[in-house]
Structure 1
Amino acid sequence: MTFDLEAMKLAVVDAIEDIKGFDITVMDVRKLTSMTNYMIVASANSSRQAKAVADNVREKLKEKGFAIRGTEGEKEGEWVLVDLDDIVVHIMVPTTRAYYNLEQLWGEAESRRGHIKAE
């Protein structure tokens, strides 16, 4: 399989939306860090839903041949991180998302909200 960052990004957003994740923001952090290319932040209504969204992201990306590097935070479920190497996915309940406010922390990143169409 040829690596396609745009396809990976779209697959993540679709997987989040499949499980009714919402308030999706895609941040291009390539100019800010060498750790990853994109961060995708999404909200879930509960810790149970956050875990389900993370599970679906992993499942859908594995089906498409993308590697999953790791997952953190599933035990608590308030903030679940899925590391895809080139994309880091953060799924949070709204109170946790408001508290950490990653969009402000990474404020210099180019970001887009809502459903992400192919560029």
Structure 2
Amino acid sequence: MDSKKIVQTIARACDDKRAEDIVALDMQEVSLMADYFLICHGSNERQVQAIARGIKDTMGERDVHVKRMEGFDQARWILVDLDDVVCHIFHKDERNYYNLERLWGDASKVELQVNENG
């Protein structure tokens, strides 16, 4: 599965867990870390953890394995590393503070289709 399909699949998994303000950034021209960042937030720690679990389960079903997951226990900012795609799941209070969209403002936004199949 290529990285563009992975970011779309992750966006749908986040939407299934009612993640808010799902944004994907195309990092290919601005960073060597990943092709895409996906950023979203949940309203409480349990929801943030559920979003992360949803991503892991959804990608596991497609034989795409999570390389690393950090911050799960605290559930304030969970980073899910899928190699070419890095997902940042914030608690709503933390998202504005870190403001990754502004930090990586040179990256273009990716149009997401969260309510479609494919």
* TM-score normalised by L of structure 1: 0.90
> What runs of 5+ residues in structure 1 fail to find an aligned partner?
none
Instruction: Name which of 72, 75, 78 aligns with 2:76.
Output: 78
The within-5 A match list for 1:93-108 is 93-108=91-106
Secondary structure of 2:30's counterpart equals coil
Cα separation, 2, equivalents of 1:97 and 1:87: 19
Cα separation, 1, equivalents of 2:111 and 2:44: 21
- Structure 2 counterpart of 1:66: 64
Contact kept in structure 2, 1:23 and 1:113, CA below 8 Å: no
Cα separation, 1, equivalents of 2:113 and 2:93: 22
- Structure 2 counterpart of 1:5: 3
> What runs of 5+ residues in structure 2 fail to find an aligned partner?
none
- Structure 1 counterpart of 2:17: 19
Letter in 2 for 1:46: N
Cα separation, 1, equivalents of 2:54 and 2:33: 23
Contact kept in structure 2, 1:21 and 1:42, CA below 8 Å: yes
Letter in 2 for 1:102: L
Q: Provide the aligned length of Structure 1 versus Structure 2.
A: 116
Give the C-alpha shift of residue 5 in structure 1: 2.0
Give the C-alpha shift of residue 111 in structure 1: 1.1
Cα separation, 2, equivalents of 1:18 and 1:37: 23
Cα separation, 2, equivalents of 1:114 and 1:14: 9
Contact kept in structure 2, 1:44 and 1:91, CA below 8 Å: yes
